[in-house]
Structure 1
Amino acid sequence: MSPSVPTPLPRVSVTAKARRGGALALVAGSGPDGPELRSASGADAVGAGLLDALAVTAATGEVRRLPLSTGPGWLVGVGDGGPRDWRAAGAALTRALNARARDLDEPVGSVQVALPGDLAVANAAEFALGATLGGHELKVTNEAKAPRAKTLELLAAPGDDLAALDAAVHRAVLLAEATAFARDMAGTPSNIKDPAWLAGTARKACSAVAGLDVVVRDEKWLAKNGFGGVLAVGGGSSRPPRLVELSWNPPAAQGTPHLVLVGKGITFDTGGISVKPAEGMHLMRTDMSGGAAVIAALRGIAALQLPIRVTGLVPCAENHVSGSAYRPGDVVRHYGGKTTEVTNTDAEGRMVLADALAYAVREHDPDVLVDVATLTGAMKVALGLRTGGVFATDPELAKRVTTAGAEVGESWWEMPLLDAHADDVRSEIADLRQCPPGPGGITAALFLREFSAGLPWAHLDIAGPARAEKPYDEVGAGGTGFAARTLVQLAASYL
């Protein structure tokens, strides 16, 4: 049974009208003398001493049921009240409401969240983003869907700028939807998700957004046009590769930079002939997380109607083991003619990205070129599991990426492109050597740089943060959708 993609998410909106008798969530934060209520509305429904009686701490993400005098109640903690606190609190509240719905075996009705009167619009947006993503769940099952929270209303405080609040929350929800869609694609099992499925899902979901064009290229087109890297990687599978091209070019984009995003779309990675260890291989269904981020970002950019020209390219392939699989020692000719000596078939991501980068340069004439991929285990060692690595030929572009990430709650760290290792990617038998010894994240980036034609280019390695072993903040276990929001924000930074 195939999962429903995109999966349904709770609807989060803004209202200025308090309901009588409905479920109400109040906000508590850390004060100088301990926990204190922050909500501008509904606080009078809390009896004196109730917070002490319940031993409330107001820690970030703490959620308690409250016996309010006006009806069902909840309390959610935001700790010190920073952006991450509000994002995590929103996710925690939705998860608690979903758990309550499962216990009662009935949906939780609409819940209003009473906002503080002095709350910054940006923090309300963070709460909305977290509340939306906290309700995300992808599950393949024949069982009836468990009851869930469907609607949260952020109750504005008297005097709030409703238009500004509504606009910020609407944008946050669209960013959350982009992240959730990327999670959906990454989490779909690979017996369902082959290159054709990924391409078809992109076409169906993105073509529904006005002005966003999607073209899918099949293996015959790839062979005719010389995509040797994609064909080599996909050659070991009975499920042939694809190339997804997404184009967003609204009339208002005239005169803006052309941003081209390239994402790795390996729908399953056995490692090929250089086969991976069995332990952990099941996680390789998420090896197309970079491609998922690009697809979801284009959909988000179009939904936000950003007036900038953006193209997305996602080479999709399954790296499998068979008699037709490519081998260590092979020489592969990429799109545009450069040749690569294969030294490790498990370094397949750079092979497909090389084709797509060269194609982007020749056919799309970008002003800015960015690729994103779960590329190297070295980056997990260097930066851990919650931070993406940024390699860039242009310091201004690197700064844009890290700033964009910080603005949407995704952490990035700039890494060095060390020219001392540039000769390591040279081959005696071909133009380039695919996987030389040395610092793996850096040499992978230097290999990809060979296909960027001197353009302002950034390589985003998300091998660590693309997957999570357990939930934290607004992130769920499994594919995280990391980088989708950053790419949307990066596009917006040029406006």
Structure 2
Amino acid sequence: MRAPLPTPLVTVEVADTLRRGVPAVLVAFPGDPVRLGPGGEDVTDPGEVGGAAGATVRQGRTWVVGVGEGAPGDWRRAGASLVRALHADAERSGEATFDVRLPGDVTAEAVAAFTLGAAVGGYRFKVTGEDPPARVKSLRLVTGGAQTGAEAGAGDAGAGVPLADAVRKANALAAATSLGRDLANTPSNVKDPSWLASAAVKAARGVPGLRVDVRDEKWLAEQGFGGVLAVGGGSSRPPRFVELTWSGAEGGPHVVLVGKGITFDTGGISIKPADGMHLMRTDMSGGAAVIAALVAIARQGLPVRVTGLVPAAENHVSGSAYRPGDVITHYGGTTTEVTNTDAEGRLVLADALAYAVRNLRPDVLVDVATLTGAMKVTLGVRTGGLFATDDDLAARVAEAGARVGEAWWRMPLPEDLAEDVRSDLADVRQCPPGPGGITAALFLKEFTGGVPWAHLDIAGPARADKVYDEVVVGATGFAARTLTELAETYAAASNTIE
């Protein structure tokens, strides 16, 4: 397969001086007339320039990009649109690097958003025997000597943060997004549970302090992971269980992240319709987000304890596939009545959640999965569903997502539906009646042991069929940035491990 992993991204750095002979990018703000940032006096035809976020125009060797009203989303959209335009022009121009001239009072929040958009907005994953096209390789953000975002005022997010630090963090978040996309976009003839486990090991290689343990199907059987074994039993490619450990602090809360790792989902005996099944290569986007987040957390050296768990399996059809009507025994002994083999994600997550509660003693437990089509219908394809048993945790997730450009909407966990999870044949039933996204969450809640818990359903935003903002067609890497930012909110700065 000729699709280099990791996918190379545009590198972004901050500086206070322009380079001789390097083409410039100027910024524009909407107005009548349009307001131009530093260097605007060199624009020969101001009337051609618009200030809408993401609007781009080339005049000679100079580019102008609109940043709208200057909100973080506007800057992120501007960075992404600019890089896509530069990529499209790269073969003609031969230019591989640009100096982006920013206002001297630019905020760290704006610089971070622009960096994130520029880094991932031009992402491209393609399996091909052809040589890759010419691409822009780097941007240098020239701030006219401004070193921090303090000029915007002490009340603004990012105020007082060194711009170089804001860019460094944004690049780390971009790398997490890209890794999540790479793992999810990889075709499933290549990507099986063993491949995904190996990819986690390779991604962690060279990241000091990040440990990865991979357990095989024999270990899973010995430990009683009945959900993972049932789901993976129909495939000739056996399941795996991946555990990533980052001990960035000696004390403080222990955050455990669990991601669904279904490397391909046929639906099993409850087989899916053919239309759209090819997209099931991305059904491990939750697991990809967890792997990517752990790598990003460790690379930044965040002072927090985080463990990532990825139960990985391929849900296939064969004589050894599990059946509707089966009763499976999960890790820890809870039994589940199977009613639909295409609701496999909750079965593997249940094992991993129970394992976390019994062995890891988490203070916070978060799972993420492309779990239900119901959430895609409910919230569309740009917003993730957020379920939580703890208001503080729910607020942390939503606020973390807002800071990194990922939207979440909190959903209810109504008590009147909880009893429907009970089964006459087993302890619980896999697919209770009622609203599918909610009942799936209530099923998972049974395995959380009363630990503060959030369930993130990303069935909608994990994939995109068109370009928008910093998102491109295919896997989006959604949730990797939120998980990374969430972990940082629990960081204990005084307990850093060198």
Distance 2:483 2:83 in 1: 26
Matched, 1:81 2:70: yes
Match in the other structure for 1:57:
50
**Is the partner of 2:145 in helix, strand or coil?**
coil
SS in 1 for 2:34: strand
Match of 2:331 among 332, 335, 345: 335
Q: How does 1:288-327 map to 2 (within 5 A)?
A: 288-327=284-323
Q: 1:187-266 residue pairs with structure 2 within 5 A?
A: 187-250=185-248, 253-266=249-262
**Percent identity between the two aligned chains:** 64
Distance 1:285 1:449 in 2: 27
Aligned equivalent of 1:364: 360
| Equivalent pair of 1:129/1:172 in contact (CA under 8 Å) | yes
Instruction: After TM superposition, give the deviation of residue 30 of structure 1 in Å.
Output: 1.1
| TM-score, L = length of structure 2 | 0.95
1:19 Cα deviation after fit = 1.6
Report the 3-state secondary structure (helix = DSSP H, G, I; strand = E; otherwise coil) of the residue aligned with 1:137.
coil
What is the distance in 1 between the residues matched to 2:398 and 2:366?
Answer: 13
The 3-state SS of whatever aligns with 1:146 is coil
Q: CA deviation at 1:103?
A: 4.1
Aligned with residue 406 of structure 1, among 402, 406, 418: 402
2:107 partner amino acid: A
- Name the aligned partner's letter for residue 463 of structure 2: R
**Partner residue of 1:114 out of 76, 98, 101:** 101
Judge conservation of contact 1:330–1:341 (CA < 8 Å) in 2. yes
| Secondary structure at 1:335 match in 2 | coil
In 2, Cα distance between equivalents of 1:290 and 1:199: 14
Letter of the 2:22 partner, please give it. Answer: G
Number of matched residues? Answer: 480
Distance 2:25 2:2 in 1: 35
Secondary structure at 1:154 match in 2: strand
In 1, Cα distance between equivalents of 2:123 and 2:341: 34
When the two chains are superposed, the root-mean-square deviation of aligned CA atoms in Å is 1.2
**What TM-score results when the alignment is normalised by the length of structure 1?**
0.95
Shift in Å, 1:157 = 2.0
Unaligned runs of 5+ in 2: 150-160, 492-498
Whole-angstrom CA distance in 2 between matches of 1:179 and 1:93: 19
Separation in structure 2 between the aligned mates of residue 34 and residue 424 of structure 1, nearest angstrom: 61
Aligned residue type for 1:158? G
Q: Which whole-Å CA distance do the structure 2 matches of 1:178 and 1:11 have between them?
A: 14
- SS of corresponding position for 1:19: coil
C-alpha separation in 2, matches of 1:75 and 1:273: 55
Aligned to 1:144: 131
Q: Which residue of 2 aligns with 1:471?
A: 467
1:110 CA displacement? 1.4
TM-superposition CA deviations, 1:10-30 (whole Å, max 9, x none): 111011111222110000011
Contact 1:207–1:214 (Cα < 8 Å) also in 2 = no
Q: 1:435-454 residue pairs with structure 2 within 5 A?
A: 435-454=431-450
Within a 5 Å distance, the mapping from 1:338-417 to structure 2 comes to 338-417=334-413
Aligned-partner residue type, residue 58 of structure 2: R
User: Against the structure 1 CA distance between its residues 29 and 310, is the aligned structure 2 distance closer, same or farther, given a 3 Å change threshold?
Assistant: same
Q: Distance in 2 between matches of 1:314 and 1:111?
A: 40
In the other structure, the counterpart of 2:14 is 14
- Tell me if structure 1 keeps the 8 A contact 2:16–2:146: no
Instruction: Give the structure 2 partner of residue 46 of structure 1.
Output: 43
Number of the residue aligned with 1:433 = 429
Aligned-partner residue type, residue 229 of structure 1 = G
Q: Does structure 2 retain, via aligned residues, the 8 Å contact 1:273–1:326?
A: yes
Whole-angstrom distance in 2 between the partners of 1:192 and 1:236: 18
More divergent stretch after superposition (470-479 vs 56-65): 56-65
Task: Say which SS state the counterpart of residue 403 (structure 1) adopts.
Answer: helix
Shift, 1:160, TM fit: 3.8
Residue type matched to 1:192 in 2? V
Select 1:92's aligned residue among 81, 84, 99: 81
Deviates more, 1:151-160 or 1:392-401: 151-160
Report the Cα distance in structure 1 between the residues aligned to 2:375 and 2:166, rounded to whole angstroms: 33
Distance 2:352 2:379 in 1: 26
- How far apart, in 2, do the equivalents of 1:28 and 1:43 lie? 8
